Amino acid sequence: MIALVGNFLNAVGDFVPKAIEYLSQNSSLLVLIGILVALGTLREMAKQRRESYKPRLIFQNKNFFLQKNPNGTPCFLKENSDEIREPYGPSFWLELKNIGLGSAHDVVIKWNYDQKKMVSRLRDYAEKTQLLRVNAPNHFEFIFNKERQNGYGFFIKKSDEEKIEMAFLSTNDSVKIQIPETLHNYITIVPYLELVAQGNPRRVDVKSDEIGIAFEYFDIGGKKQVQRLRMAIEEYSFAEDDHNKNYGVGSISFSTR
């Protein structure tokens, strides 16, 4: 073993001087190696610089409460449990923030959900509860007056019809984004219809399919970037409204996986 180590060290000792002599005699090769090393270092520095100035857009997680409107339609999506007595409910906002070091320009927010699956689910509720009327392939009406057969109408639009555009979002800035109308109606009405479909038990838990979100924008260098998030919705409804006329609660959370 000692003899092997000695032979290895002798071989290295013979190689190093010869390598130094070779490189000294071939200065152009030595210069080329130096250039390649320098280029590699510069490329890595440039990459790190680009990465450090990329925007990074996120939505904040949010809780919500569900309430019927004065006509008895389960369509109010709100941030707190206080009762709303006006005929029209509040807008529901998500907070979009840029936590990156660079600003994002010409921002487009795209939502990716399965419209066909949502429509199929609502058609099933229409048959089971007799509380929905199907007026068109993607238009529904929640009946709050069966004698007159009038109610609250809403569409389940294609996801590409719900995209949102904005000019820019600077670093560390945030802006309120109104949740798409389709998702608003789906989030509010599904828990109530599920409760009725199950015969009004004490509580019903509802977990919607994951919704994809894509941010498309240009960074400060004019390069187009695409960033993706997943949106998860969990909610439950209960048989008896609380003292503030709420029939359910839930949460919206976001992740990169």
Is 34:27 a contact under the CB 8 Å cutoff? Answer: no
Say which DSSP state 89 is in. Answer: P
Distance of CA 226 to the CA centre of its chain: 12
pLDDT for 213:
97
Q: Tens digit of pLDDT per residue, the chain (257 long)?
A: 544 444 544 554 555 565 556 556 655 655 555 555 555 555 655 555 555 578 999 999 999 999 999 888 999 999 999 999 888 888 999 999 999 999 999 999 999 999 999 999 999 999 999 999 999 889 999 997 766 677 899 999 999 999 999 999 999 999 999 999 999 999 999 999 999 999 999 999 998 888 999 999 999 889 999 999 999 999 999 987 776 789 999 999 999 87
- Distances in Å between the Cα of 129 and the Cα atoms of 45, 73, 141, 184 are 62, 14, 13, 20
pLDDT for 209:
84
pLDDT for 18:
59
Q: What are phi and psi of 100, to 5 degrees?
A: -80, 180
For the chain, the structural domain boundaries read 2-49, 54-255
- In DSSP terms, 170 is beta-bridged to none
Choose among 149, 150, 157: nearest CA to 184.
157
What is the full DSSP assignment across 208-227?
PPPEEEEEEEE-TTS-EEEE
Task: Retrieve residue 25's tokens.
Answer: 């005699």
Alpha-carbon span 80 to 147, nearest angstrom? 33
pLDDT for 39:
54
Query: Which pTM value belongs to this model?
Result: 0.79
Choose among 69, 111, 63, 67: nearest CA to 88.
69
Close Cβ partners of 83 (under 8 Å, ≥ 6 residues apart)? 67, 244, 245, 246
